[in-house]
Amino acid sequence: MDSNLLTSLDGIMKLDGLLRISAKHNQISSLDFTASKLRRLELLECQQNCIGWVDGLDELLSLMNLHLGPFLRNFAADLPR
């Protein structure tokens, strides 16, 4: 999904079998995983977007690699300590 002028990832939030998402070089401004079904997602690459805030990362139970880029302003997650 790289370089496709995407503005969100809403259309794939219910695809519970996804292991990797690469959505680099798009126009995504926010990510909200609070209602997602991406329990098996291991890799999320969203560099080169204009992401200002992310919510619900604690829903991504299998996430091991996260790449969001330098523009993140608001990060909300209840991650285990």
Q: State the pLDDT at residue 75.
A: 60
Q: Which of 74, 69, 56 is nearest to 26 (CA)?
A: 69
Question: What is the residue-level pLDDT of the chain in tens, covering all 81 positions?
Answer: 899 999 999 999 999 999 999 999 999 999 999 999 999 999 999 999 999 889 999 999 999 999 988 766 666 555 544
